Structure 1
Amino acid sequence: MRTLHFGLRVSDLERSLAFYTAVGYTVIGTVEGTAYGKLTMLQLPGDDFVTIELVYDPAKGEAGPGVGINHLVIQVESLDATRADLAAKGIEPEPIEYPGGAAGPRTCWITDPDGYRIEVLQWPDGHADGITKADFA
């Protein structure tokens, strides 16, 4: 088993699409008229699968944190290059953090238009492309 994607309810689809495409996501497809509203599927370059489904239904009003989703994490090759690219696109990343100490991952945070928090992460050289049991040894 594996996690495929998560649905993220948004209050303004165009505003959210502008943000997520600036981050690097591309729209793979849409599904109209579902019980949840319009669904827009997003994928990062290099990924084989959709990882975010934007869920838009203007009748449901404002969206944002506090309804079950804490944050999502995007892995990048170079945090410095990604921060510069985001800033050039008008997305101001927060300062770099070292949650595992100097030898651990480097991270920073950005916030989408609805207030969802996104952690941008660069693993140290030689680290697996994800969290493993070895991270808790």
Structure 2
Amino acid sequence: MPDQPAMRWSHVGLNCGDQAATEDFYRTLFGFQRARVADIGGGERIIFLRSGPVYLELFPSAAEPADGPKGDGPQSPGVIRHLAFQTDDLDAFLERIGDSVPVTLGPLRFDEFIPGWRTVWLSDPDGVVVEVSQGYRDQEQVPTD
């Protein structure tokens, strides 16, 4: 296998029954601040919170499909959606793992939010979804509501 690209902890994606209440909880009790808001259509958005090097990604919750989680992880409230890591070279990471790990989604590009932001989601041996991303950075002008 080729050398492993450097990995850094990225974030935990949380499914929220009430995004505003979840954001308030982590802001008030743990000092998180908004780092980015991404409009995902249909009046929904993902809110990125940051405290130092730690990020939380707050998703609106959705009903879980009957056959279990797909794509970027389960969507039921109160359930961790996925674990996430950042790398400087997603292609090198994908080359290194080859076909040895099941890909649940991607790789996808999110250039409409951040030019060069690319992500792939994998399944660990216990079925936990793990995201690996390249190119994420905080928003310069973060909406306050």
Q: TM-score range by the shorter chain?
A: 0.3 to 0.5
Q: Which has the higher contact order (CA 8 A, sep 6+)?
A: 2
Query: Normalised by the size of structure 2, how large is the TM-score?
Result: 0.38
More helix by share: 1
More strand by share: 2
Query: Normalised by the size of structure 1, how large is the TM-score?
Result: 0.40
